[in-house]
Amino acid sequence: MTEQEKFVLSEIIRITKDNKSRSFWKKAIKILGANRTEMELGELKHQMRIGEIKNPASYLTHLLKEQLNQIEQDKTLKNLTEIPKTHYEKTQQNLFKHLTPVEVPKQEPENKKFMPFPYSGKNIPWPTFIGPEFFTLSTNKARSDSVMYKPHTKEKVGPEVPLIRGKISPDAKKEYGIPTIQHWRVFSALKVAWAEKGCQFSQYSNGTLVCFVVVSAKELAKILGWKHWQHLGKNNLRWLRDTVTDLKSMPYYLQLEKNNIRGLKGYGFYLVGDVSLLNKKVSAGDETLFNVSFSSTVSYQLLERHAVIRTRKMLQVQSELTSLIWLYLEPNLRANNEACINLENLVEVLHLPKSKWQKYQSKRKQIFSKSIKELDGQKLADGRSIHVKIEKGLNDYQMVANLMGISIKQLENHSV
């Protein structure tokens, strides 16, 4: 070891008082380098100063393992000889034909498998048929509604299709609620966990393929960026359980009578097919495990790689409105590298719950200007940056956005 590496090692042992883990500390320093390891040690010192850390050795181990895992993931991606391509469906007709729900047999699957070229856990595989129209803000108290959905295919944006949110069919009396951005975040975290754990799926005797993941509540909280994910309180656990369960009980229905797809008038489906819950005792206390199966509709899209790859940083965005804008903006930027829309029209395409501020130009400018601050400078999975601002237009203020930078070709092959 160099003198600098020896110094970092001695500092780690002095601060953590953990000499038993010397071999791990030395391994981490060797792989990460003294400077990078010292940076993580600085983070530990900061957390200790503000009183957030009770077990310094455990926290530093976690930080270093994250960095080591990151290096391994980067090596795996770099060494792939065949890059799995993800793509939009060629036409809108193909998109809807492949969305038709498949009956999942009640018996146990014949076998369980992993995707041969799994998605990276660093990014989110997002089925291309799902758009911002699928989610709403938490302030929307409606139990169901109907919005116009714009599907994206290789033919660009197809004709609008009526999408009923919160009901399994147009004449259903029962309303189950509309998934919000909070549901979107948990749904995305479940897909990240699925990718991190090797993209498992079950194959049933009738040929049906269903993606599934077994993930703990703490793992989900970590993916969601919660600060205290290692020590979840009762309220946080309850919220996670309720939100995951909501995903299997909030349906959608696409009305396709006017889309000239032979024999298909429309269909209802869910994002999640099944959820089971296990609470168990472990050495560190109680642990909650979720066993979640994605719906056959979502599973087909993921396994066929009809997906856009989106960065995990989307989950760290705090504002619900900002997240909804991102979901709207990204496919338009991917198609054209730039986008422009009047704020009054933006209110409409985002299907925002009615509010007084939407009636006035100055208020619209104020609300959207605040929201896009968190979005400006964020990156797509291919490395390009989103730049967005509000400008004065002819009749209204408008949101103007463009992509900057050069896409990373290897990641671009993963995306659309």
Assess whether 335 and 293 both reside in one domain: no
pLDDT at 259: 73
Q: What DSSP state is assigned to residue 27? A: H
Task: Please state the pTM of the whole predicted model.
Answer: 0.75
Assess whether 271 and 327 both reside in one domain: no
Whether 313 contacts 123, CB under 8 Å: no
What are the structure tokens assigned to 408, written together? 């990373």
150 is a domain residue:
yes
Assess whether 31 and 176 both reside in one domain: no
Burial of 4 (0-12, 13-18, 19+ CB in 10 A): middle
Tell me what the mean pLDDT of segment 40-64 comes to.
83
Assess whether 203 and 346 both reside in one domain: no
Assess whether 61 and 100 both reside in one domain: no
Assess whether 309 and 338 both reside in one domain: no
Instruction: Work out the number of other CB atoms within 10 angstroms of the CB of residue 178.
Output: 25
**Region of poorest pLDDT, from 167-176, 276-285, 305-314, 394-403:** 276-285
Boundary-marking domain end, from 290, 315, 340: 315
Separation between Cα atoms, residue 255 and residue 266, nearest integer Å: 5
pLDDT at 406: 76
Assess whether 104 and 222 both reside in one domain: yes
**Cβ-based neighbours of 179, under 8 Å, separated by 6 or more:** 134, 135, 136, 165, 187, 246, 247, 250, 271
pLDDT at 340: 94
Domain span at 364: 322-412
Percent share of the chain, pLDDT over 70: 86
pLDDT at 256: 85
pLDDT at residue 241 above 90? yes
What are the structure tokens assigned to 100, written together? 């038709």
pLDDT at residue 288 above 50? yes
36 is a domain residue:
yes
Angle at 143 between CA 167 and CA 132, to 5 degrees: 75
Task: Summarize pLDDT for 246-276 with one digit per residue, the tens.
Answer: 999 999 999 988 776 667 788 899 999 999 9
Boundary-marking domain end, from 14, 47, 79: 79
Assess whether 332 and 360 both reside in one domain: yes
Assess whether 96 and 48 both reside in one domain: no
Assess whether 166 and 254 both reside in one domain: yes
84 is a domain residue:
no
Whether 218 contacts 230, CB under 8 Å: yes
Separation between Cα atoms, residue 182 and residue 186, nearest integer Å: 6
pLDDT at residue 151 above 90? no
pLDDT at residue 97 above 80? no
Boundary-marking domain end, from 58, 79, 100: 79
Task: Summarize pLDDT for 191-216 with one digit per residue, the tens.
Answer: 999 999 989 998 877 778 899 999 99
Separation between Cα atoms, residue 308 and residue 411, nearest integer Å: 11
Tell me what the mean pLDDT of segment 16-31 comes to.
90
**Region of poorest pLDDT, from 89-98, 250-259, 274-283:** 89-98
pLDDT at residue 147 above 90? yes
What are the structure tokens assigned to 136, written together? 């709403």
85 is a domain residue:
no
Sign of torsion, CA 3 65 407 410? Answer: positive
**Cβ-based neighbours of 64, under 8 Å, separated by 6 or more:** 24, 28, 32, 37, 40
Assess whether 147 and 240 both reside in one domain: yes
pLDDT at 120: 78
Average pLDDT, the chain: 85
pLDDT at 82: 44
Instruction: Work out the number of other CB atoms within 10 angstroms of the CB of residue 146.
Output: 15
What are the structure tokens assigned to 303, written together? 């396994």
212 is a domain residue:
yes
Per-residue confidence band for 353, with pLDDT thresholds at 50, 70 and 90? very high
Q: Which helix (H) or strand (E) holds 210?
A: strand 209-216
268 is a domain residue:
yes
147 is a domain residue:
yes
Tell me what the mean pLDDT of segment 280-289 comes to.
75
200 is a domain residue:
yes
Whether 220 contacts 228, CB under 8 Å: no
**Region of poorest pLDDT, from 60-74, 181-195, 322-336:** 60-74
Separation between Cα atoms, residue 287 and residue 261, nearest integer Å: 47
pLDDT at 363: 96
pLDDT at 222: 92
Which of 291, 247, 290 lies closest to 269 in space, CA to CA?
247
Which of 413, 348, 354 lies closest to 382 in space, CA to CA?
413
Tell me what the mean pLDDT of segment 363-376 comes to.
95
pLDDT at 145: 95
- The number of folded domains in the chain is 3
Whether 143 contacts 79, CB under 8 Å: no
Assess whether 232 and 283 both reside in one domain: yes
Tell me what the mean pLDDT of segment 135-163 comes to.
85
Separation between Cα atoms, residue 167 and residue 371, nearest integer Å: 30
Q: In terms of pLDDT, which residue wins out, 176 or 304?
A: 176
